[in-house]
Structure 1
Amino acid sequence: MSRDEHRLRRRLDGARKARNAESLAAQIEADIEAAELRVTRRRDAVPKISFPEELPVSQRKDEIAAAIRDHQVVIVAGETGSGKTTQLPKICLELGRGIRGQIGHTQPRRLAARTVADRIASELNTELGEAVGYKVRFTDHSGQDTLVKLMTDGILLAEIQTDRMLRQYDTLIIDEAHERSLNIDFILGYVKQLLPRRPDLKVIITSATIDPERFSKHFDDAPIVEVSGRTYRVEVRYRPIIDPDDPDADQDRDQTQAICDAVDELQHEGPGDILVFLSGEREIRDAADALSKQDLRNTEILPLYARLSSSDQHRVFQRHTGRRVVLATNVAETSLTVPGIKYVVDPGTARISRYSHRTKVQRLPIEPVSQASANQRKGRCGRTSDGICIRLYSEDDFDARPEFTDPEILRTNLASVILQMTSLGLGDIAAFPFVEPPDRRQVTDGVQLLQELGAFEMSDGKKLTETGRKLAQLPVDPRMARMVLEASRNGCVREVMIIAAALSIQDPRERPAEKQQAADEQHARFTDKTSDFLAYLNLWEYVTEQQKALSTNQFRRMCRNEYLNYLRIREWQDIFSQLRQLAKPLGITLNTDGPADPQRVHTSLIAGLLSHVGLKDPAKGDYLGARGARFSVFPGSALFKKQPRFVMSAELVETSRLWGRVNARIEPEWVEPLAGHVVKRNYSEPHWERKQGAVMALEKVTLYGVPLVADRRVNYGRIDPEVSRELFIRHALVEGDWETRHHFFRENRALLEEVEDLENRARRRDILVDDETLFEFYDQRVPADVVSARHFDSWWKKARHTEPDLLSFEKTMLINETAGGVREADYPDFWTQGSQTFKLTYQFEPGADADGVTVHVPLPVLNQVTPDGFDWQVPGLREELVTQLIKSLPKAIRRNFVPAPDHAKLVLSRVGPADGPLLHVVADELEALRGVVIPDDAWQLSAVPDHLKMTFRVVDVRGKKVSEGKDIDALKRDLSGQVRATISKAADSIEREGLTTPAFGELPKVFASKQRGHDVKAYPALVDEGGSVAVRLLDTPGQQEQSMWAGTRRMLRLNIPSPMKFITRNLGNSSKLVLNRNPHGSVAALLEDCVDCAVDKLVADNGGPRWDEAGFAVLLEKVRAGLNAGVLDVLTNVEKILRAANDVETRLADTRGPKDSLADIRAQLDGLVHKGFVTETGQDRLKHVVRYLRGIERRLEKLPTEPTRDIQRTGDIAWLRNEYQAALDALPPGTSSPALREIRWMIEELRVSFFAQTLGTAHPVSLKRVIKALDDAATSRN
């Protein structure tokens, strides 16, 4: 035999070189004799051969035999029924083939291999398995003496791995080559390469009459022998669904209606079954429903498709009476021959599996079939008699269609082929002699899938990995094989093999169209809510248990009753057994320690399904899959109703849309470890993290565009060491954003802070060298592999011992050479006011609230701080401040002081803070320099930059900010309560409340204590609280003075009997009537005001308030003795005031005059007589108020005749009142000014001088005198 010949030649060649050549030669000679005996035995075993005369191929036997004898490759083309499949092996036997090797005869399907083998054996009168045998997956009915071996093309492919030269065969018959499956095209390509090395090998390729020339051309113009089939005439009728040439055609007619019309037409053509081709199960159901509603007598409607249950498929082939309408997919085109068909209805479409380059998934779109497929369909009705084929499309449509269907190699993923070719060392697929080379994109996609599975190196897509070598040894889909390999690592081989085997076959769960609900109820037991894969395991365990408990017939019956396909279950079990056997040599064994964890199972499955992972898109309701594909969970999945965030699908198939079939919920963290070689990792926002002491970044991990991880913080040092080192130096070393105890670092930061502080004080950014200078310093010294704090610490731990000053700054290197003229003394750290010293800080941040100099004022001493001196700023900013003040002047004044900086410098060379308030001093100096008077209101302080105005920051005892602002007086007002509360904590023994008798001991006029180095002062006083008196600490002497008078008055009133009865007895009726017309609201309130006024007069006459109990007792007796008389004296003046005020009111109501004048009179009257005016005015001034009121009367008398003069005087008064109010507003909080109080009454005297000169004044007065008094008051205040 050919195999023996090759083996023996090699042994002979080796024996010639061996030392024991003679003994080896003897052994070889014996083996040669044994081989010759085998050849003789095989020749003798050839049975008697005959050829049925009725077969067309028998009539061309001699021509075919001659072609085979004379050529290495022969193409035999003939329709089904010509006999080529059964007679060609017999012709080869008759030619002497099959003796020195077997006649290998391939079939596309297992069923065909078995039935053809059986038929040939029957014709040769030999037992199946002897001269004629067959081999299909899981079954081998052939032996060493078998002459003709039928097998599937997949079996021949598998044998190539162990018999590269195919020496067990001397002849190969590749049957049904026109189907152009992937296996057939690969075999044809392999054989073409093999033929030059096996000149003894004969190859016969059989095909339907579909493009046999292509095969001939592929094999160097091999001869073609055409054999006609036994066919009858077929009439073709074209019935387009919508006929464009028929104006009366129904435009709403659809395919289902067209099928019904065609069936109705064929019913009138005589008996015979009708075969209707449809593209899918749904279309079959729609057509069946429509046909069942028609009046089709004695007609049975049967579906036929691959997923149909076995029993329903068998019904199509059973004998029957009446007419049948078979609704079939293209499975009936070539794979199955339906008997009794006389009529065919061809809509011209089919679902054709196509691989999408874009989505990398296998699609099943509905497409128009090729002309060759249409003719195959037509041929189904011309087998036994003349037939009719109705095509539901036009003849022009038919003529425009492609002649042939694309071979499978042009429309499928080539991963399995590429893997096997690489494993066999067949070279680049692009150079492989396929009948039709695949698209380069398909090859690329196949390589990419193998890279995804880890079979190929990522860097070299043609180099097998160890995983790839193992995958090539498992004859299943590479995805399934990868799952099994991963399962061996995860200890779940059994579970994954069960699932992989299930995915390799049609679903064993049947779902008949008329019993869907019953089937669903039976199958629901196996459902797992989170995983369709686990449902296979549940089903497996159930089936295994039942199979053990039941007999074979009982088990078959159970399968039928529970809608399980018995044959598919057996196939499932056979595949599992084969997988187990094939995996053993690879060291893969089943786990026996109980069921595996579901997570491990799914993790193993993910290894083969990386590109079938999807992320839920809540907005669109579907899943984002690999490379932008969008798919939905198939409605039959257990996950359809409650869809998880991440899902894995066993397959993605496109029909009406892209569906994920057989799904499971997964977690992204299961995927990432398996997908490390194909995921894309994008890093964003690399940044230094102080706490981590490293450069971190946000990592986004995507698997073919599907986000697995978003914004995960990762150490960037291992990803980009160069960038990480730079960021470490810039942030940790240069910017100091680092928690470390290194001595050099601490000293360097201290030096930097010194220079930075000088910059803030001088408000310059050119003193400290820039960050690049500091970066270069470190960059030149720190090694390239230091990318984090940990790396630095490791390096510096050794380096510091040899070069301790390597990384230490010197102050001179930190200061720019151009930064001259800056003196630290001009920017002091502290400000002194009186006995208090306040910390100063500097901030150079334009726009910030505290930009410039900040004075830190402890809360307890806030009441002691005055604005004095702060207006002069620190020396370093003083010149800029005066310059800006000059620039703020109105243009008419400002132009006299140009250039402003020069004038500022000159002014400051002559004056300083000791000369008085800044504005007054500068105004005086500028006037002295240029003779230009600058009014106080000329300064536009709002135009002065904020950084030149000191910020006052009030801090608590811990140094924490309480409040801050530019106005110290406003802060004192706002925080007065907090100041008092703070001081009170330190003076609990002094403050008291609820006093009604003068038991307050002796009050100090000043309370002083030390708090955190500051002299805290407060001012005790009696405080009027209505029904009692309290002792409180107040902020200022002014507050103390006011409060002490009021508190003394209240204590005296509480301890002296009320004089009200005495007053009532001594008032006449006319007096009572006058007093009743008062602004207080009641006579009682007026009288209380009068008593308070009398008490104040008596206190003043007796030396003022007393600070001890003894002194207060003396004062109490003095006031008690003189109170009644004092009150009567007050009432006398008050009665006169109220009479005069009433007269003014009456005249004012009747007077017409300038509005400003009348408004001024009303304001004066309200200022003199109002609620509380008696005590406020004081007893000594009450008699003058009567004169002021009489002055108003005189003014009203003159107003009608002298309005112009009145208006002029009114203007003067208004100006004085505004100046007076401004002076009051300028007083610090809690202070009072006797001088200002006197000016208030000077203005009243001036009114008398202006409008009622004849009444006389209490003292000389004029406008000039009042102005001078205002100036004097301002000067004394400053």
Structure 2
Amino acid sequence: MASADRATESEEFLVSLYRPSTILPITRHRDALLYLVKNYPVTIVVGQTGSGKTTQLPQYLHQAGWTEEDKIIACTQPRRVAATTVATRVAEEMGVRLGEEVGYSIRFEDMTSPRTRIKYMTDGMLLREALVDPLLSKYSVVMIDEAHERSLSTDVLLGILKKIRRRRKDLRIIVSSATLQAEEFARFFGDEGEGGEKRDEEKKELAKIISLEGRCYPVDVLYLEEPTENYLEKAVQTVFDIHLKQLAVFDPAPENYRKVIVSTNIAEASVTIENIVFVIDCGFVKLRTFDPRTGIEALSAVPVSRASATQRAGRAGRTRTGKCFRLYTQKAFNDVMTEAGIPEIQRSNLAPVLLQLKALGIDNVVRFDFVTPPPSELMARALELLFMDPMTAKILLNSVNFQCTDQILSIAAMTSVQNVFITHESSKKPAESAKPFAPKASKPNAAKWCKDHYLNFRALSRAGIRRCLTTGYFAHAARMQPDGSFRSVNGMQMWAHPSSVMFNRKVDWVVFHEVVETGKKTFIRDVTVIEKDWLLEYAPGFYQLRR
């Protein structure tokens, strides 16, 4: 029943996305778009969500012959849900089965076939394909959709495509953006030299910009006269105010019901939901940031940019005159909010990005051509981590003494360990009684002994690993407090992350690998239980026992 309900919801969602292609704003620009793609290596398409660029442009290119000779048109999306939903919609419009001529590829799910000619995928999936095929030779056109979101994968992909274009003059690149950042993208692709200068043989214009009309109806924007202290309460109140005072706007309302959609910022650009007339904008977005000095990653609510606020207001006014209620003052809009959001590459841990670039064959990662170069401090920190952080290095060196090098190598790569005891309700009591005999597992018949006593032999054989981890992560030690929190050696209050096996468990001392700040709480991840005496044994210069 649940799956049937989900299927029905999915169908209803697709219906809400439907809009006859002949009345989409992109329709009148079809010939101009095809001309630009044919004659210029890079086309920058500016159009608000709902203009039809994501669903129609790949179809135009397919009809114009860009998929001949078994070539494929790729359209990347920053989010999985957008890739799957749009692919389903385009397959429906073309009257083909999803996974045949039109398909999608996201992590852990590939809905394509040798017949696929229009392929929607996440940015990360196309980067993975570049590991196997550095020139992306099977693609005739690569369209980077929602480029204004400036995710890490998007920025890396743009840099990779710029390098590929120097080798593949036949490749066409389309950058689609819902905000007015077109000039920045055009300048980026126009500077073809490594040092940012255009090569002599490439003096011709490389990138052209085309703008599509979007919203057809005006949107009234209403601000608060005074800042509010409780945004959640104010948002709920505004919903009821709209419902009570503006009933006639929704005529006819099916069965006297009104749909209220509570959404994250995915509704800003990644999906189009028709018949939205009112938008309530709280003015905040949750962003993940990384502090290279402390190594702490935080997920915090911060004010949106003015560009994002404009995007949110644009959800209204698609089918009729709309209104946007902003839960902040006009002064805050003008003075507090920035013009555009900070690209993810300027606020993230870049170590994984640099490893990815290395895997893609980029030797000089420092000189890699980013649309917006990351701060030097973030780059320096990432380069340091490329080799190995001191804590990981120490446990790898000490693993020889503890005879657990293979296991520590795995932990260094995965930063995870198994639970020692196999716990089932039926065997809980005998398992508990077997704990005192754990040292016997080191005997030759250890595997059988562990099985007889409800022990996980593979995990128990790693008992020395906890000691080894203590030798490297002694500075990341923390003790549980009566309220269930942990207090680190420098006095910071932290909590076991909900994903940790230590969540809601009573322990004494632990060491941890990572600190994550979310809202008002600081969490620790990759947590391992240790003994207090080990800290004195392996870090006598760092810890002292008080009498």
2:40 to 61, 66, 71: 71
- Report the equivalent of 1:1096: none
- Whether 2:224 is the aligned partner of 1:239: answer yes
- Report the equivalent of 1:161: 131
- Report the equivalent of 1:751: none
- Whether 2:110 is the aligned partner of 1:110: answer no
- Report the equivalent of 1:80: 49
The superposition leaves residues 555-585 of structure 1 with CA deviations (integer Å, 9 ceiling, x where unpaired) of: xxxxxxxxxxxxxxxxxxxxxxxxxxxxxxx
2:110 to 140, 153, 157: 140
The code of the aligned residue for 1:433 comes to: D
- Report the equivalent of 2:477: 614
Alpha-carbon separation, structure 1, partners of 2:271 and 2:475:
33
8 Å CA contact 2:103, 2:116 repeated in 1: yes
The superposition leaves residues 1053-1074 of structure 1 with CA deviations (integer Å, 9 ceiling, x where unpaired) of: xxxxxxxxxxxxxxxxxxxxxx
Report sequence identity in percent.
Answer: 32
Alpha-carbon separation, structure 2, partners of 1:612 and 1:432:
35
- Report the equivalent of 1:59: 28
2:245 to 256, 259, 269: 269
- Report the equivalent of 2:235: 259
Q: Which consecutive residues of structure 1, in runs of 5 or more, have no partner in the other structure?
A: 1-50, 244-252, 275-298, 300-318, 459-466, 468-485, 501-530, 540-592, 674-680, 682-697, 701-706, 712-1278
The code of the aligned residue for 1:227 comes to: L
Alpha-carbon separation, structure 1, partners of 2:345 and 2:319:
35
* Secondary structure at 1:166 match in 2: coil
Alpha-carbon separation, structure 1, partners of 2:421 and 2:75:
36
The code of the aligned residue for 1:355 comes to: F
8 Å CA contact 1:78, 1:209 repeated in 2: yes
The code of the aligned residue for 2:511 comes to: V
Shift of 1:123: 2.8
8 Å CA contact 2:300, 2:518 repeated in 1: yes
- Report the equivalent of 2:351: 415
8 Å CA contact 2:147, 2:175 repeated in 1: yes
- Report the equivalent of 1:952: none
8 Å CA contact 1:487, 1:493 repeated in 2: no
8 Å CA contact 2:49, 2:270 repeated in 1: no
- Whether 2:284 is the aligned partner of 1:349: answer yes
The code of the aligned residue for 1:208 comes to: A
Higher helix share: 1
Shift of 1:133: 2.6
* Secondary structure at 2:179 match in 1: coil
- Report the equivalent of 1:206: 176
Shift of 1:321: 4.7
Alpha-carbon separation, structure 2, partners of 1:368 and 1:81:
25
1:644 to 503, 508, 524: 508
Alpha-carbon separation, structure 1, partners of 2:526 and 2:345:
26
Shift of 1:433: 0.9
Q: Give the greater-gyration-radius structure (CA).
A: 1
Shift of 1:84: 0.7
- Report the equivalent of 2:325: 390
8 Å CA contact 2:480, 2:507 repeated in 1: no
Shift of 1:217: 1.5
8 Å CA contact 2:467, 2:534 repeated in 1: no
Pair 1:534–1:427, CA change in 2 (3 A): same
- Report the equivalent of 2:406: 489
8 Å CA contact 1:132, 1:146 repeated in 2: yes
Pair 1:623–1:331, CA change in 2 (3 A): farther
* Secondary structure at 1:382 match in 2: coil
The code of the aligned residue for 1:362 comes to: E
The superposition leaves residues 886-923 of structure 1 with CA deviations (integer Å, 9 ceiling, x where unpaired) of: xxxxxxxxxxxxxxxxxxxxxxxxxxxxxxxxxxxxxx
8 Å CA contact 1:273, 1:323 repeated in 2: no
The code of the aligned residue for 1:427 comes to: D
- Report the equivalent of 2:209: 224
8 Å CA contact 1:57, 1:227 repeated in 2: yes
8 Å CA contact 1:273, 1:343 repeated in 2: no
In the superposition, the TM-score normalised over structure 2's length comes to 0.73
Alpha-carbon separation, structure 2, partners of 1:672 and 1:173:
58
Alpha-carbon separation, structure 2, partners of 1:536 and 1:371:
53
8 Å CA contact 1:602, 1:666 repeated in 2: no
8 Å CA contact 1:135, 1:142 repeated in 2: yes
Q: Which consecutive residues of structure 2, in runs of 5 or more, have no partner in the other structure?
A: 1-19, 191-205, 397-402, 425-455
In the superposition, the TM-score normalised over structure 1's length comes to 0.33
* Secondary structure at 2:342 match in 1: coil
Shift of 1:201: 0.8
The code of the aligned residue for 1:613 comes to: H
Alpha-carbon separation, structure 2, partners of 1:158 and 1:604:
37
8 Å CA contact 2:45, 2:211 repeated in 1: yes
The code of the aligned residue for 1:344 comes to: V
* Secondary structure at 1:223 match in 2: strand
Alpha-carbon separation, structure 1, partners of 2:512 and 2:353:
25
The code of the aligned residue for 2:116 comes to: T
8 Å CA contact 2:146, 2:269 repeated in 1: no
Alpha-carbon separation, structure 2, partners of 1:150 and 1:634:
38
Q: Which range moved further: 68-77 or 377-386?
A: 377-386
Alpha-carbon separation, structure 1, partners of 2:265 and 2:249:
17
8 Å CA contact 1:241, 1:392 repeated in 2: no
Alpha-carbon separation, structure 1, partners of 2:238 and 2:177:
32
Pair 1:595–1:619, CA change in 2 (3 A): closer
The superposition leaves residues 372-423 of structure 1 with CA deviations (integer Å, 9 ceiling, x where unpaired) of: 1111221223333322211122212111221111111111111111011123
Pair 1:670–1:393, CA change in 2 (3 A): same
The code of the aligned residue for 1:645 comes to: W
- Report the equivalent of 1:182: 152
* Secondary structure at 1:366 match in 2: strand
Shift of 1:369: 1.0
1:443 to 364, 373, 379: 379
2:364 to 428, 453, 466: 428
The code of the aligned residue for 1:175 comes to: D
Shift of 1:70: 0.8
2:58 to 79, 89, 97: 89
Pair 1:143–1:619, CA change in 2 (3 A): closer
Alpha-carbon separation, structure 1, partners of 2:540 and 2:42:
60
Shift of 1:136: 2.1
Q: How many residues were matched structurally?
A: 466
8 Å CA contact 1:75, 1:215 repeated in 2: yes
* Secondary structure at 2:317 match in 1: coil
* Secondary structure at 1:161 match in 2: helix
* Secondary structure at 1:112 match in 2: helix
The superposition leaves residues 856-906 of structure 1 with CA deviations (integer Å, 9 ceiling, x where unpaired) of: xxxxxxxxxxxxxxxxxxxxxxxxxxxxxxxxxxxxxxxxxxxxxxxxxxx
Shift of 1:348: 1.3
- Report the equivalent of 1:656: 520
Within a 5 Å distance, the mapping from 1:1207-1226 to structure 2 comes to none
Shift of 1:128: 3.0
The code of the aligned residue for 2:487 comes to: Y
8 Å CA contact 2:391, 2:473 repeated in 1: no
Alpha-carbon separation, structure 2, partners of 1:536 and 1:380:
53
Shift of 1:665: 2.1
Alpha-carbon separation, structure 1, partners of 2:374 and 2:150:
12
* Secondary structure at 2:221 match in 1: strand
Alpha-carbon separation, structure 1, partners of 2:126 and 2:165:
16
Alpha-carbon separation, structure 1, partners of 2:316 and 2:468:
46
Shift of 1:93: 2.3
Shift of 1:491: 9.7
8 Å CA contact 1:240, 1:391 repeated in 2: no
* Secondary structure at 1:60 match in 2: helix
The code of the aligned residue for 1:647 comes to: V
Pair 1:641–1:140, CA change in 2 (3 A): closer
Alpha-carbon separation, structure 1, partners of 2:468 and 2:31:
56
The superposition leaves residues 470-514 of structure 1 with CA deviations (integer Å, 9 ceiling, x where unpaired) of: xxxxxxxxxxxxxxxx999239979x98x96xxxxxxxxxxxxxx
Q: Which range moved further: 107-116 or 433-442?
A: 107-116
8 Å CA contact 1:615, 1:645 repeated in 2: yes
Pair 1:606–1:330, CA change in 2 (3 A): farther
The superposition leaves residues 1001-1057 of structure 1 with CA deviations (integer Å, 9 ceiling, x where unpaired) of: xxxxxxxxxxxxxxxxxxxxxxxxxxxxxxxxxxxxxxxxxxxxxxxxxxxxxxxxx
Shift of 1:230: 4.4
Pair 1:361–1:229, CA change in 2 (3 A): same
